[in-house]
Amino acid sequence: MSIIFQESTRTFRLNAKNTTYMFKILDDEGFMAHAYWGKKLSDTDASYIVRRIPSPSVMERERATILDTMPQEFPSEDVGDFREAAFGLLDSEGHEGCSLLYDSHAIYPGKPALSGLPATFGSEKDCETLELTLKDPVLGIKAILLYTVFEDLDVIARSVRIVNEGKAPVRLTRVLSASVDFDREDLDMVSLWGGWARENNAQRVPIQHGIQKVESARGESSNTYHPFMALMAHDATDDFGEVYGFNFVYSGNFIAETQKEQHGYIRALMGINPQHFGWKLVPGDSFQAPEVILVHSSEGLSGMTRTYHDLYRQHLVRGKYAHALRPVLINNWEATYFDFNTEKLLEIASLAAKQGIELFVMDDGWFGSRRSDNAGLGDWYVCEDVLPGGLKPLADGINALGMKFGLWIEPEMVNEDSDLYRAHPDWAIQIPGRKHSRKRNQLVLDFSRKEVVDYIYGMIHKVLSSTNVEYVKWDMNRTLTNLGSYALDADRQQELSHRYVLGVYDMQNRLTTDFPQILLENCSSGGARFDPGMLYYSPQIWTSDNTDAIARLKIQAGTALMYPLSTIDANISIVPNHQTGRITPFTTRGDVAMCGTFGYQLDITKLTEEELSLIPKQVENYHRFNPLVTTGDYYRLHDIFTQDSWDSWMIVAKDRSEALVTYVQILAQGGDMIFPKVRLKGLEADSFYRIEGTDTVVSGQLLMQSGLQIDLKRGDYVSASVHLIREA
Ligand code: GLA
């Protein structure tokens, strides 16, 4: 049993693999006090752990003082706790207060699905769930907190459902999914920041007094900040010390914040961003908030990383390709942009097929009047000027080459210059009377409306059924602004952003259910919606529009902080690189892309003979190494965010029988005969490993204590990839 309720002390103890999480019903009224989250404890009584209050009588006299300092399990607004709250509402009289007190609980094996939302899953053998019901005695509002403990991982998944069992409607103003009060003040916050073509840069800063937060109010999880934070003990490193990870399984607006309060203790919260949020909850209705994945590590940040990787690979990513080798793809975007026809695409595909490439993806520009990025979005039927005879001749031609065929869509968007917009201008998100705020000359369709999702899905269903499509790239290229829906009443307009995300999930669910053979890849101008919510529907995501191998080092390292390499799409493109102008060796581009889902995004007909000759070997290596890359343990061997003249990482098989080490020299250093040496991690100390391609056999201990010698050519941007095989 990983979850225990001790009746005598009214303590809940949740034990994951090496982690304990505890809280307690504090008084007769049912105040829920948070007690502990950290390394495993055998105690079942939290009485000594919960922060002390002077005496029970003081609780009556000083309720507001105590509420403002006690660690709470699910704090709400305007009852005396002035710190950031997890929950807030306005009742029908316009008041804010709500006291969520213990009502009941249930403990059961397995994990329930969250209605309409993506979530991690697990069998009755994998996990156990606590359903804790809190209730406000005045309004009849219930908060049902779900805690699922994964027994073999240091993971607790938390979410909350709000139910109105009262007599009057209320307006939810703040429903965060997790709040944790730490009895410690020595924590740093690690978060990710970025922008288009420079996603997921990691930063670590001490948590100071006041509020620190990352957030999105852009309608998508965004590339500016990420729905993630790790709280690291000041003395924790990548390999040692305590780390607490928070990652939100949601693809819309979020906040991830900490507050260091008056006594120096830290509260951490995560959930839907209260900005652009409001929800009218009428009697009998409920509101389900998405889940937060809490990971505890006492093996530093890298321990947290490996736990997220294991969880997402086993308990989040689904479908035919969840555990299967993905086909090596070639995408025509950087090859042709909008300038293509059937002949050009078949020319690229046939040369690609000869090199062993397995999937051809036709990107943007094949539908409606889409001859540039100014028109056509919304018209999901083939443009016969581009592809005479439709998709079938192209798809058949690609299949005849022995390749799979895939295509690009951007279902959530509309151009004003489209048949769809001309017929349904009210289907775009907008505030009546206010000028459209365009981005890439496009508007966002109101996916909060079922008829809009039905219509778009109907068109796309027809295209996907018309021929043998085995891959879809679902793009989303702008943020949500001018938040207005023609279908929502004034008192529900603030529900639009969340309802929009639910509409996206609904359509992704339909698509993956109706076309299980399709490999779905999400994308949002690159990585602007790379989040666990999307990974529930698509096993891989386009990580960034920046395909430069050197820029990708940071982008992929930041993304791999919690997402498995099997989800990180990485392609080789031409040089000078289209985003940075940088010229890197073809082999370096290959080594960097090899540690993701591998592919090409270039006009293969324009490669040199030498470059072309390298492709069959790269494809062969991908087939050899991908099973290791996508199932093994990932170790960072360097922190590129603090020192970026080189980078290195490795993947070790779960049974420690082999490892793949990648080293990239960014800036060459002067000096004669100096080769870099890098200390490895995760090997078996007393086993011996052969360095493939050489006669050298060395102990795991030596490789970890002294290091692997890297054979490198001179020059900037050169790389090496080393395969180690354990000797029998
Ligand atoms: C976005 C994507 C690109 C490409 C273009 C097409 O920018 O991230 O990969 O598909 O759209 O318009």
Measure 526 CA to ligand 1 centroid, in angstroms: 7
Catalytic residue among 545, 548, 591, 633: 545
Predicted structure pTM score? 0.98
Could you give the count of Cα atoms lying within 13 Å of 284 in the half-sphere of its Cβ? 0
Measure 603 CA to ligand 1 centroid, in angstroms: 16
Q: What is the pLDDT of residues 421-444, one digit of tens each?
A: 999 999 999 999 999 999 999 999
29's CB contacts (< 8 A; 6+ apart) are 101
Strand 266-272 to 254-260 pairing: antiparallel
Residue 62's pLDDT is 86
Residue 253's pLDDT is 98
Q: Is the peptide bond before 576 cis (omega within 30 degrees of 0)?
A: yes
List of E strands, 227-364: 228-233, 243-248, 254-260, 266-272, 279-281, 286-288, 292-297, 329-331, 359-362
Query: What is the overall mean pLDDT for the chain?
Result: 97
Residue 672 pLDDT level (bands cut at 50, 70, 90): low
Measure 329 CA to ligand 1 centroid, in angstroms: 16
pLDDT exceeds 70 at position 153: yes
Q: State the CB neighbour count (10 A cutoff) for residue 57.
A: 8
pLDDT exceeds 70 at position 477: yes
**Mutate which of 198, 331, 374, 545 to test ligand 1's pocket (most atoms within 8 Å of Cβ)?**
545
Among 11-15, 206-210, 369-373, 709-713, the range scoring the smallest mean pLDDT is 709-713
Structure tokens at 436: 């459209």
Of residues 142 and 714, more confidence is placed in 142
Q: How far is CA 313 from CA 16, 131, 521, in A?
A: 18, 25, 16
User: For 640-664, what is the mean pLDDT?
Assistant: 97
User: For 644-659, what is the mean pLDDT?
Assistant: 97
User: For 462-473, what is the mean pLDDT?
Assistant: 98
Pocket of ligand 1 (CB under 6 A): 333, 363-364, 373, 408, 475, 477, 523, 525-526, 542, 545
User: For 233-246, what is the mean pLDDT?
Assistant: 98
For atom 7 of ligand 1, the residue with the nearest CA is: 525
DSSP state of 476: -
Q: How far is CA 728 from CA 225, 680, 689, 697, in A?
A: 46, 20, 9, 12
524's CB contacts (< 8 A; 6+ apart) are 220, 223, 475, 476, 477, 530
Residue owning tokens 């009057």: 168
pLDDT exceeds 90 at position 78: no
Residue 327's pLDDT is 98
Q: What is the pLDDT of residues 18-43, one digit of tens each?
A: 999 999 999 889 999 999 999 999 99
> 615 with 297: CB under 8 angstroms?
no
Q: What are phi and psi of 218, to 5 degrees?
A: -95, 0
Cα–Cα nearest to 476, from 512, 527, 539, 431: 527
Structure tokens at 566: 């099997």
pLDDT exceeds 80 at position 56: no
User: For 129-153, what is the mean pLDDT?
Assistant: 97
* Whole-angstrom distance, CA of residue 457 vs CA of residue 411: 8
pLDDT exceeds 80 at position 57: no
pLDDT exceeds 80 at position 673: no
Cα–Cα nearest to 683, from 649, 655, 664: 655
Structure tokens at 487: 């279908």
pLDDT exceeds 80 at position 573: yes
User: For 351-368, what is the mean pLDDT?
Assistant: 98
Catalytic-residue membership of 491: no
Residue 675 pLDDT level (bands cut at 50, 70, 90): confident
What angle do helix axes 496-514 and 450-466 make, rounded to 10 degrees? Answer: 30
Residue 485's pLDDT is 98
Cα–Cα nearest to 17, from 208, 149, 212, 132: 149
Share of the chain above pLDDT 70, in %: 99
User: For 539-555, what is the mean pLDDT?
Assistant: 98
pLDDT exceeds 90 at position 451: yes
Q: What are phi and psi of 541, to 5 degrees?
A: -135, 140
Residue 164's pLDDT is 98
Residue 671 pLDDT level (bands cut at 50, 70, 90): confident
Catalytic-residue membership of 379: no
Amino acid at 149: V
Measure 139 CA to ligand 1 centroid, in angstroms: 48
Residue 63 pLDDT level (bands cut at 50, 70, 90): confident
Q: State the CB neighbour count (10 A cutoff) for residue 104.
A: 12
| 713 CB-contact burial (10 Å; exposed 0-12 / middle 13-18 / buried 19+) | exposed
Residue 55 pLDDT level (bands cut at 50, 70, 90): confident
Residue 59 pLDDT level (bands cut at 50, 70, 90): confident
Catalytic residue among 126, 379, 475, 548: 475
For atom 12 of ligand 1, the residue with the nearest CA is: 364
Residue 659's pLDDT is 98
Q: For the stretch 289-299, what's the b/e string if a residue is b when 16 or more beta carbons lie within 10 angstroms of its beta carbon? A: bbbbbbbbbbb
pLDDT exceeds 80 at position 189: yes
